[in-house]
A and B are shown apart, each in its own frame.
Chain A
Amino acid sequence: MQRIIKNNEVIDETWHLLPKDATLDGISNCDDLIVPLSLWRDHARALKVRDGGLGVWLDADEEAEEIGEDANQLQVIALNFPAFTDGRSYSNARLLRERYGFKGELRAIGDVLRDQLFYMRRCGFDAFALRADKDPYEALESLQDFSVTYQAATDEPLPLFRRR
């Protein structure tokens, strides 16, 4: 079973991530599912009445605004990093947290590597599904890379100049 980092701990993965072309056909009623944005957009009602948990994932070129005010209807929102050098999901994360007040689990998926975790957490991610070949226990260390930060972000609403 895959393990992910959640709230600074390594835990067992319990959610199923459905691929981008997933349809409602044969969809599980009781599993916890993270569905692609398009499926949720087209079938939000049907997905919500299931017994299992519901999350949605956005690709890097999909916009936080597409979930917008509906964010808190979801338990999990996962944001994809098609490559670790693609920084779009950092902006989506902050928008979901700071503009739409999303309170659920915000998860980084895709090309997620330890050297970006510190930035991700600052932008509001609290769960990290590391790339399969990487060790989540070692990665935990990188969440402590810096002890001071200059900017306001999701994790710290005050910039350093209002704290120093």
Chain B
Amino acid sequence: MANATHGTGYRLYWITWIFLLMVTMVMLAMEYVSWPQWMLLTVLLVAMLVKASVISGYFMHLRFERPALIVIVAASLVLVGLVLFVLLAIDAIRVHQLSAV
């Protein structure tokens, strides 16, 4: 039984690896398509978040940990990171508009 679970453990990592490489290829391919900028931005940011959650979820085993640990990590990083960026971005946009005038 122990061998069986470890066998699927290896397989899970190789599947994760191939998935991450495929998402990376898609992101690099965005360089060669001429979509409107908001579409490119959306695809790239979503792909980035998908990659980040796959790495933390499967390579770092976060998906299989207790909710308490997931909340500690996600709350501090996602919330603080987002709040910091949103607060700064409002100011940055204002500076941009001022310098454009």
Is chain B a partner of chain A in the same complex? no
